[in-house]
Structure 1
Amino acid sequence: MSSADLTRIPVGGSSAYEIVIGDDALTEVPALLSGSGRAAVIHCQTMKDTAQAIAGDLRAHGHEAELIAVPDGEQAKDHAVAAHCWNDLARLGFTRSDAVVAVGGGATTDLAGFVAATWLRGVPIVQVPTSLTAMVDGAIGGKTAINLSAGKNLVGAFHAPAGVVCDLRLLDTLPEGELVNGLAEVVRIGFIADPVILDTIEAGTEAVTTPGTPQLRDIIERAARVKAEIVTEDMRDHGRRQFLNYGHTLGHAIEKVARYRWRHGSAVSVGMCYAAELGRITGHLDDATADRHAEILMMLGLPTTYRPDVWPDLLEAMRIDKKARGSRLRFIVLDGLASPTVLDDPGEEVLVAAYAPCCRLVAD
């Protein structure tokens, strides 16, 4: 693929960079490290071959490259795994003239970003997301974090990458169900900012669940553009960026209660249905738009309900969530399609009532 076939989406602000999207975009990685000496390629286990290929390309362009393997999924986002990475960087003698390359899904990009942000108080990182979730969300925006037993993403730092490289051919490597899992984050962008995404999905789910289609590329680019625009305006989550948390307050709680046996996208899918009910009950959202959430998510095969018996645990997890303010829970809801707003401290009766339509006995 020529560079003309790649889509380049700028992210502005004090640390500007580009999101590069397209087939064979991996060829862009060496250029993003032109000012660095060595590179530590932090990769999840399942992306070892891709990481080795990137390391080989870096070496061909005159860089030294070292591989650091981490566990797959949320197991990577642990302080012990971060310490393992720091110790490897120390053993290798990495300095501020060196860099990190993250290769994997959202958990890997979160972890590697945090390692890069904290090693010597910050070294460059190039994010190479290999899952749809990471391509449209996790790898963009400079939020990095690890989890604690108390909750998800509680320890982290803002650290903008040198670039984000989304090679769409990597979507062919995803295990069954993982592409659909990532579409939950795309649907979220559709509801808060770009309804064309929702129209495209409703026009035919096969076209957006099959790697390589123009429809899938279009909604990926649309989602990435929205996130880039929001991050440019609000890097540190003080204003409009909080709207990106739509569906994530309950979603993160579900992940914690399920001990991360639920995929992130599945949890956010239920979280969006819950947010839609909160919007409906509090008079923010019309019935048709609220109902449209479950309709679209079910079309894609994503879950819209969770266990009724764990509500106290979910509520406790939400109270520890980083989006809470003191004892006050805060949710993103919709005033209408593509019109998000903050719902501050809804009463417990409202919280319980909104969860009732989202309940069904399900397996962890």
Structure 2
Amino acid sequence: MSTPHRVKVSLPEANSRGYEVLVGSGLFASLATALSRFCPAHRYAVVTDDRVAELYAVRLSRMLHSAGHRTDVFAFTSGEAQKTRETWSLVSDAMMESGCGRDTAVIAFGGGVPGDLGGFVAATYMRGLPLVQVPTTLLAMIDASVGGKTGVDTPAGKNLVGAFHQPQCVLIDPEMLQTLPDAHLRSGMAEAVKHGAIADAEYLDWIEDNVESLLAADPQALSRLIMRSVEIKAEIVASDVMECGPRKLLNFGHTIGHAVETLSGYALLHGEAVAVGMVEEARIGERAGVTAAGTSARLRRVLTRLGLPTSLPIDFGADAVVQHTRLDKKARAGRVEYSLIQDFGRPFIGPAGVWGHPVADETVAEVLAGVGSRG
């Protein structure tokens, strides 16, 4: 195993020590050692989905058992459609039936769905258990596993029920991406593009210059991508743990993206929906006069090269998308706030330092319907 790269997530709360994100090839093989150091517990409850369990559960259980750790695996059917209160209840009940107590720690093991749902189980089970995030998809590695957001979806929309619950540590092994389907690899890259767009224009340039290596899953390129995205996410989270200010910028592309993802019945992967959302929200920003002209065109070019969609599915009506945005967590006083950028690496900050820009539904609908010039 290579020496892991460490990224510290500093938290301002007086009673929090923050935590580390460890990134290193072969790190999964030393998981038991890392748990003993960062999250010692009498027992570990591994929350995962059936696909990840099929690939890794036996190996994980044997590693932990051989190190003297009592371990139980709680697997549910894979897919965003299963990230519900019903699945949360099934997992929690199964943990109760198996006798998991307050001396248990939860390992959220898998992609964004096990990460969010496992984290929510940890946040709520017996009023809170220690949590370790072990992401296995690119999207979870560079975004979902860092920052403490946990939750489940409801029929009204994504992640409308949840809690902030920071992990004790995040353990990322890029070698686990070898079993990741190409579509999911591309989906994860959408979040990396977002990080470059909101915080680091040079990083976005690097992504565009290295598209071929990234799509070929070159280990060095992927490791660099993971580490830089984790650094950006950690810095933003440290400045605003509860998403009252600058952390809102991480929602760029997600207001439209979540609406599109929900309308698709989760047929679109999260990153695919966010790719569409970024292009459309850049166009909204251009229409509102806060985003530099040409921003949406550049995003469209980069995302297209990464094999991601950049426009609404042909059978999606603009009014239906707008209707779903009204249920978004970012709505304030009946108006939807959008996280926008001025230019690449330059966030838009409104008057009096307000993060988020309210845009009239009518304007959003016109942009989505293609009324006026297109970026």
1:349 to partner: Cα distance:
3.2
Q: Share of identical aligned residues, percent?
A: 37
Q: Does 1:319 align with 2:326?
A: yes
Match of 2:100, SS state, is: coil
How is 1:165-204 mapped onto 2 (pairs within 5 angstroms)? 165-204=171-210
1:15 to partner: Cα distance:
4.5
Describe the superposition over 1:139-176 as per-residue Cα deviations: whole angstroms up to 9, x where unpaired. Answer: 11110000111111000001001111111011110113
Match of 2:129, SS state, is: coil
How is 1:324-343 mapped onto 2 (pairs within 5 angstroms)? 324-341=331-348, 342-343=355-356
Could you tell me which residue of structure 2 aligns to residue 352 of structure 1?
Answer: 365
Could you tell me which residue of structure 2 aligns to residue 7 of structure 1?
Answer: 5
Q: Does 1:41 align with 2:46?
A: yes
Match of 1:285, SS state, is: coil
Could you tell me which residue of structure 1 aligns to residue 352 of structure 2?
Answer: none
1:28 to partner: Cα distance:
4.3
Distance 2:190 2:203 in 1: 11
- For the 8 Å contact 1:255–1:261, the answer to whether it is kept is yes
Q: Which amino acid aligns with 1:143?
A: K
Describe the superposition over 1:248-299 as per-residue Cα deviations: whole angstroms up to 9, x where unpaired. Answer: 0000001111111111011000000011101111111222333211010111
1:195 to partner: Cα distance:
1.8
Q: Which amino acid aligns with 2:118?
A: A
Match of 1:221 among 205, 224, 227: 227
How is 1:146-295 mapped onto 2 (pairs within 5 angstroms)? 146-295=152-301
1:210 to partner: Cα distance:
2.3
Match of 2:340, SS state, is: strand
TM-aligned CA distance change 1:159 to 1:185, over 3 Å: same
Describe the superposition over 1:306-331 as per-residue Cα deviations: whole angstroms up to 9, x where unpaired. Answer: 13542222111110111111311000
- For the 8 Å contact 1:145–1:153, the answer to whether it is kept is yes
Distance 1:32 1:155 in 2: 31
Distance 1:348 1:38 in 2: 50
Q: Which amino acid aligns with 2:46?
A: V
- For the 8 Å contact 1:37–1:64, the answer to whether it is kept is yes
Match of 2:241, SS state, is: coil
Q: Which amino acid aligns with 2:285?
A: G
Match of 1:20, SS state, is: strand
Distance 2:72 2:126 in 1: 18
Could you tell me which residue of structure 2 aligns to residue 310 of structure 1?
Answer: 317
Match of 1:154, SS state, is: strand
- Please, which runs of 5 or more residues in structure 2 have no aligned partner? 349-354
1:94 to partner: Cα distance:
1.1
Match of 1:9, SS state, is: strand
TM, length-normalised to structure 2: 0.91
Distance 1:199 1:24 in 2: 29
Distance 2:250 2:371 in 1: 21
Distance 1:343 1:242 in 2: 7
Q: Which amino acid aligns with 2:145?
A: A
- For the 8 Å contact 2:340–2:357, the answer to whether it is kept is no
C-alpha RMSD over aligned residues: 1.7
- For the 8 Å contact 1:304–1:358, the answer to whether it is kept is no
**After TM superposition, what 4+ stretches of structure 1 lie above 4 angstroms from structure 2?**
none
Match of 2:182, SS state, is: coil
Q: How many residues align?
A: 357
- For the 8 Å contact 1:276–1:334, the answer to whether it is kept is yes
Distance 1:30 1:60 in 2: 9
Distance 1:78 1:15 in 2: 31
Describe the superposition over 1:42-90 as per-residue Cα deviations: whole angstroms up to 9, x where unpaired. Answer: 1111111313222221112211001111111213311111111111111
Describe the superposition over 1:194-228 as per-residue Cα deviations: whole angstroms up to 9, x where unpaired. Answer: 22222122213111122243222112111110101
TM-aligned CA distance change 1:31 to 1:357, over 3 Å: farther
Could you tell me which residue of structure 2 aligns to residue 362 of structure 1?
Answer: none
Q: Which amino acid aligns with 2:23?
A: I
Could you tell me which residue of structure 2 aligns to residue 90 of structure 1?
Answer: 96
Match of 1:100, SS state, is: strand
Q: Which amino acid aligns with 2:18?
A: A
1:32 to partner: Cα distance:
4.2
Distance 2:183 2:361 in 1: 35
TM-aligned CA distance change 1:343 to 1:66, over 3 Å: closer
- Please, which runs of 5 or more residues in structure 1 have no aligned partner? 360-364
Distance 1:349 1:59 in 2: 58
- For the 8 Å contact 2:280–2:296, the answer to whether it is kept is no
- For the 8 Å contact 1:41–1:55, the answer to whether it is kept is no
TM-aligned CA distance change 1:358 to 1:235, over 3 Å: farther
Q: Which amino acid aligns with 1:315?
A: V
TM-aligned CA distance change 1:200 to 1:213, over 3 Å: farther
Per mean C-alpha deviation after superposition, the further-off stretch among 313-322 and 204-213 is 204-213
